[in-house]
Structure 1
Amino acid sequence: MQRPLIAAIEAGGTKFNLTVGYSHDQPLEKIRFSTTHPEQTFQRCQAFLAEAADRHGPPAGIGIASFGPIDIRPDSPSYGTFMDTPKPGWTGVDFRAALAQFRCPVVIDTDVNAAALAEYRARAMHGKSLAYITLGTGLGVGLCNDGSSLHSHLHPELGHLHSEALAGEPSGTCPFHPRCIEGLICGPALAKRWDIRPEQAPDDHPLWDNLAHHLATLCRTVTLAYSPHSIVLGGGVMQRPGLFQRLNAAFSSQIGNYLAHQLFPQGIDQFIEPPSYADAGLVGAFYLAHARIAGHEV
């Protein structure tokens, strides 16, 4: 039996990544382009998918891993619609409506929930749970428990947790919360707060220990609230050499020895780890569509 043809979209605040194929690791077509105004961005999506359909046939389903906040409740009349996003021009935009011409199931989750699903499956973690944190243009947290994303009235918005200031650090940049973690340590926030691009900051620059402190606060909260078996951290900022070591030291200091044997039987260095996929969100989008076609909820 031939596998279904699937279109996967990773919709980031900076870039859109799209693939079409029968498996996530062997795409027949792929494209990447900058996220601009919704109309222009969706026109590029539509053109790519239409051209791929001409060559390979129509997709059986479309999976979307999107930046947010976005309505990801399948039973909601506004399913797939962006909410109060700081991305200019995107609030109120209906993602699913932009793809209606392809007349196939369209399933949407957050980029971090999709990435959590991909990393969960990469580790064959049946019956376990995983948290995925991305730190780049923004900061997001996704959770996968026994193969299913954590949803409620809204998806997790843990990037907006409050974090206490360290002595002498600049103020945050979030327009909603002056001291939320995203507004303190996402890439643009680091550049604005410290007046230097993160990739240009030397290893002894104070922003790195400051970042590790606030990121450790987030990891501690995720650990104590959800007790995942693993926390995976991806995104452009996390590519910095030595950052995981700084984070582990700060996290160990904050968590202390509290339930260490139960929470981290594999050790903290194995509890907080880098991703298996460079494009985990895109892989997760593929899995979302495949599950919907097969009649399974993710």
Structure 2
Amino acid sequence: MIYGSIEAGGTKFVCAVGSDKLEIIERIHFPTTTPKETMEQVISFFSKYKVSLKSLGVGSFGPIDIQKKSKTYGYITSTPKIAWKNFDFIGELKKYFDIPIYWTTDVNAACYGEYVAGNGVGLSSVVYYTIGTGVGGGALQDGRFIEGFSHPEMGHMRILKHKQDLFGGNCSFHHDCLEGLASGTALEKRTGIKGQELDKSHPAWEIEAFYIAQCAYNTTLLFSPDRIIFGGGVMKQAHLVEKVREIFTDLLQEYVQIPAIDTYIVTPKLGDNAGTIGCLALAKEATS
């Protein structure tokens, strides 16, 4: 038997199948367009594994409805991606696959991947952020997601603006929240240059690090996690995590004692595989 993984990102979908040892057997990706076009590709990929597919783990961009008693459980809800607003994601999958499906956010899935096979192994409390096209966060305590009436939306926390930042913000809901100021989209709009093409000496990186360090500061005082993991495309700049650690240390002022900074604020061990591994692991969880 095999397990299926769907990383439903705002920019692209990544679909995979894997073994019970979380080994990836096949993986494909394609752009996130309309629900009709995108889901046709999802269904087509998994249909060839229908006989042996035991369960699916789905990590989706959000916000999503995670309350199983809700009439809209399994829906993408108030997303700024208009075509996907109020889309019945799980309902569409259930038309074709009568198997258990684990439903959570894309960043929760990545957090779980690091927890079971990456930089969260052996720890009781892990918080994961994706700093990419948007910003999202997920938190685990003793293997369980921290959530209540809904999943956390930590990517939209309020932060202080850098004194030299003249950019107004990119979030369509809150303008200058964390996502609005620190996402890859915000970085590009602030500078006119894509992050991967931005020289490491550019002053925008100091501003970026200031915002991510505030995120780590808020997370530390809210959750006291064993580790904070920052993933996503923006964090692929090797110099950025060092800047974040430096500014974070200055902000915290030793108010609380944390683990060694080099092991406290880190990037994903699994890299771009974190979400896929997490979805496969959650698919296994759905059958237990």
| Superposition TM-score tier, normalisation by shorter sequence | over 0.9
Instruction: Name the counterpart of 1:82.
Output: 76
| 237-246 or 19-28, larger mean C-alpha shift | 19-28
Amino acid at match of 1:118: G
Say whether 1:274 aligns with 2:257: no
Instruction: Name the counterpart of 1:158.
Output: 154
Say whether 1:35 aligns with 2:32: yes
Partners of 1:115 and 1:291 in 2: CA distance: 15
Q: Is the 8 A contact 2:20 2:284 kept in 1?
A: no
Q: Which one of the candidate residues 56, 59, 62 is aligned to 1:65?
A: 59
Gaps of 5+ in 1: none
The offset of 1:147, in angstroms, is 0.7
| 163-172 or 213-222, larger mean C-alpha shift | 163-172
Amino acid at match of 2:236: Q
The offset of 1:24, in angstroms, is 5.8
The C-alpha deviation readout for 1:237-275, integer Å capped at 9, x for no partner, is: 100121110000011011111122xx22xx111100111
Partners of 1:287 and 1:62 in 2: CA distance: 10
Q: Which one of the candidate residues 121, 126, 151 is aligned to 1:130?
A: 126
Instruction: Name the counterpart of 1:244.
Output: 241
The offset of 1:104, in angstroms, is 0.8
The offset of 1:25, in angstroms, is 4.2
With normalisation by structure 1, the TM-score equals 0.91
Q: Is the 8 A contact 2:184 2:234 kept in 1?
A: yes
Which structure 2 residues correspond to residues 207-222 of structure 1 after superposition, within 5 A?
207-222=204-219
Amino acid at match of 1:151: E
Say whether 1:112 aligns with 2:107: yes
Say whether 1:148 aligns with 2:144: yes
Fraction of identical pairs, as percent: 36
Q: Is the 8 A contact 1:173 1:193 kept in 2?
A: no
Q: Is the 8 A contact 1:83 1:92 kept in 2?
A: yes
The verdict on how the C-alpha distance between 1:46 and 1:271 changes in structure 2, with shifts beyond 3 A counting, is same
Instruction: Name the counterpart of 1:22.
Output: 19
Instruction: Name the counterpart of 1:172.
Output: 169
Q: Alignment partner of 1:171: what SS? A: coil
Partners of 1:239 and 1:21 in 2: CA distance: 26
Q: Is the 8 A contact 2:22 2:280 kept in 1?
A: no
With normalisation by structure 2, the TM-score equals 0.94
Gaps of 5+ in 2: none
Partners of 1:67 and 1:290 in 2: CA distance: 21
The verdict on how the C-alpha distance between 1:253 and 1:37 changes in structure 2, with shifts beyond 3 A counting, is same
Say whether 1:254 aligns with 2:254: no
Amino acid at match of 1:105: P
Q: Alignment partner of 1:32: what SS? A: strand
